[in-house]
């Protein structure tokens, strides 16, 4: 298969372009997606090519335009709605949670909502608390939604197309720290969007993660290899529904698990995965399941504090060593 090298941003743009080419019902709407060129420059150039009917700049009214996007999906279109960051999406939560996620069920299956909502997430750019949080956990909590987190360039390129084919509402989280990174993009998706993938094979411990923490887990696995600890890395890719078989299969092999999640630890996704391992794989375990999450603090502005709040490679390495040592 031919692969090309793109930045994560370019991979996302290529996915959007493909979607616009493939289906005339598809359009992109959001804050500054058009004339400005996209707040993270993901949609740069698309307005000039596709015009204002398909690349629609919205006012700053998250609930309003996300709701309109949901309404257009209800009316037969295939909207890609971009919310500048997940932090602002909280203003649109009514439409996402009370409408998009519930209409199919409340109508007894008569209406479905094929909307795709993309948003940036994650910390690391010193943007302080209101631009740096990871609310994937919130959305992964909601029945009726599907939640994707492309951690690789190939997923950044292809998950949008997969999401648009899904008849239900799909939310895609794009980590801001990945945007400038270059990586290989394959021509076709590696798997269906709901499958987790083992990104690195290992024997001793399973690192379960997704999105922005994926490369940290892979870097930690490299470090661990140097001290003869063989770490397997599972990329969840889809946070709802969770592909439990893949990470349970890995834990069955390694007997140890560390979950790395940029969300906060309390009441979060890492706790959920830990509970699933406990419920379904307790007898496979040689050590307690561990979690590395963001410190329980609104993300601070100064770099050293921001970095201290986030999961880091060293923490993963240390944690893996500790559980191998039986500490």
Partner 1 sequence: MNQKLRIDRVHLINQLRQMLRIRRFEEKCTQLYAEEKIRGFLHLYIGEEAIAVGVMSVLKPEDQIVATYREHGHALARGLSMGSILAEMFGRINGCSRGRGGSMHLFDKQMNFYGGNAIVAGGLPLAAGLAMANKKQHRDAVTVCFFGEGAVAEGEFHEAMNLAVLWKLPVLFVCENNGYAMGTALSLSESETNLARKASGYGMASSQVDGMNVVDVESATSSALELIKTTSQPYFLECKTYRFRGHSSFDGQLYREKEEIRQWEEKGPVIRLQNWLKENNHFNEEELDELESEIKAEIEAAIEFAEGGAWEDTRDLCKDVYSPTQEGEPG
Positions marked active-site: 62, 131
Binding mask of the shown chain, residues 41 to 80, with x at each position contacting partner 1 by CB under 8 A: ------------x----xx-x-xxxxxxxxxxxxxxx---
Binding mask of the shown chain, residues 165 to 204, with x at each position contacting partner 1 by CB under 8 A: xxxx------------------------------------
CA separation, residue 228 to residues 91, 278, 317 (Å): 48, 27, 12
Among 5, 98, 182, 201, binds partner 1 (CB under 8 A): 98
Closest CA to 203 of 224, 189, 178, 185: 224
For residues 27 and 50, which CB has a smaller minimum distance to partner 1 in the complex? 27
How many Å apart are CA 169 and CA 113, to the nearest integer? 6
Binding segment for partner 1 (CB under 8 A), chosen from 104-112, 217-225, 263-271, 272-280, is: 104-112
Among 55, 80, 84, 113, binds partner 1 (CB under 8 A): 113
Using the Cα atoms of residue 143, residue 146, residue 150 and residue 155 in order, give the sign of their dihedral: positive
Torsion angles phi and psi, residue 298, rounded to 5: -60, 140
326: left (phi over 0), alpha (psi -120 to 50) or beta: left
The 146-148 sheet, strands edge to edge:
55-57, 26-30, 78-85, 116-121, 170-175, 146-148, 238-240
CB of 31 to partner 1, least distance (A): 13
Q: Which residues contact 8 (CB under 8 A, 6 or more apart)?
A: 153, 156, 174, 178, 179, 180, 181, 183
Structural contact between residues 67 and 79, judged by C-beta atoms closer than 8 angstroms: no
Q: What is the DSSP letter of 285?
A: -
Binding mask of the shown chain, residues 214 to 243, with x at each position contacting partner 1 by CB under 8 A: ------------------------------
CB of 81 to partner 1, least distance (A): 10
Widest CA span in the chain: 60
Among 5, 21, 35, 107, binds partner 1 (CB under 8 A): 107
Among 2, 108, 228, 326, binds partner 1 (CB under 8 A): 108
CB of 216 to partner 1, least distance (A): 31
Half-sphere exposure of 226 (CA within 13 A, CB side): 6
Number of residues that bind partner 1 (CB under 8 A): 43
Among 1, 2, 110, 188, binds partner 1 (CB under 8 A): 110
Beta bridge partners of 78: 26
For residues 23 and 318, which CB has a smaller minimum distance to partner 1 in the complex? 23
Residue 243's CB is within 10 A of a number of other CB atoms, namely 19
Among 85, 87, 89, 99, binds partner 1 (CB under 8 A): 99
Residue 211 is a binding residue for partner 1 (CB under 8 A): no
Binding segment for partner 1 (CB under 8 A), chosen from 30-38, 108-116, 129-137, 256-264, is: 108-116
Beta bridge partners of 184: 5
For residues 27 and 40, which CB has a smaller minimum distance to partner 1 in the complex? 27
How many Å apart are CA 313 and CA 311, to the nearest integer? 7
Binding segment for partner 1 (CB under 8 A), chosen from 160-168, 224-232, 251-259, 265-273, is: 160-168
For residues 192 and 286, which CB has a smaller minimum distance to partner 1 in the complex? 192
Query: Number of H helices and number of E strands within the chain?
Result: 13, 14
CB of 169 to partner 1, least distance (A): 10
Residues making contact with partner 1 (CB under 8 A): 27, 53, 58-59, 61, 63-77, 94-95, 98-99, 103-114, 143-144, 146, 165-168
């Amino acid at each position: 298969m031919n692969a090309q090298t793109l930045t994560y941003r370019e991979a996302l743009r290529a996915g959007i372009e493909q979607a616009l080419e493939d289906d005339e019902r598809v359009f992109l709407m959001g804050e500054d997606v058009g004339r400005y060129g996209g707040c993270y420059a993901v949609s740069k150039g698309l307005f000039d090519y596709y015009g204002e009917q398909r690349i629609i700049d919205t006012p700053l009214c998250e609930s309003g335009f996300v709701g309109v996007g949901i309404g257009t999906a209800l009316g037969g279109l295939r909207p890609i709605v971009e919310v500048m960051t997940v932090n602002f999406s909280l203003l649109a939560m009514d439409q996402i949670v009370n409408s998009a996620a519930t209409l199919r069920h409340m109508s007894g299956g008569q209406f479905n909502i094929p909307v795709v909502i993309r948003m940036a997430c994650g910390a690391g750019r010193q943007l302080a608390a209101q631009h740096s949080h990871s609310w994937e956990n919130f959305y992964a909590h909601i029945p009726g939604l599907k939640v994707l987190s492309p951690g690789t360039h190939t997923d950044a390129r292809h998950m949008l197309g997969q999401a648009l084919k899904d008849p239900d509402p799909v939310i895609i989280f794009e980590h801001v720290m990945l945007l400038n990174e270059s990586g290989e993009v394959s021509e076709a998706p590696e798997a269906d969007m709901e499958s987790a993938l083992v990104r690195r094979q290992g024997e001793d411990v399973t690192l379960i993660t997704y999105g922005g923490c994926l490369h940290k887990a892979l870097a930690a696995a490299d470090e661990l290899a140097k001290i003869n600890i063989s770490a397997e890395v599972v990329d969840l890719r889809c946070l709802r529904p969770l592909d439990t078989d893949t990470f349970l299969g890995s834990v069955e092999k390694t007997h140890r698990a560390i979950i790395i999640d940029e969300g906060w630890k309390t009441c979060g996704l890492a706790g959920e995965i830990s509970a699933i391992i406990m419920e379904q794989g307790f007898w496979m375990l040689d050590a307690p399941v561990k979690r590395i999450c963001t410190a329980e603090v609104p993300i601070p502005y100064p770099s050293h504090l921001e970095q201290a709040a986030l999961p880091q490679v060293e923490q993963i390495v240390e944690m893996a060593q500790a559980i191998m040592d039986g500490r």
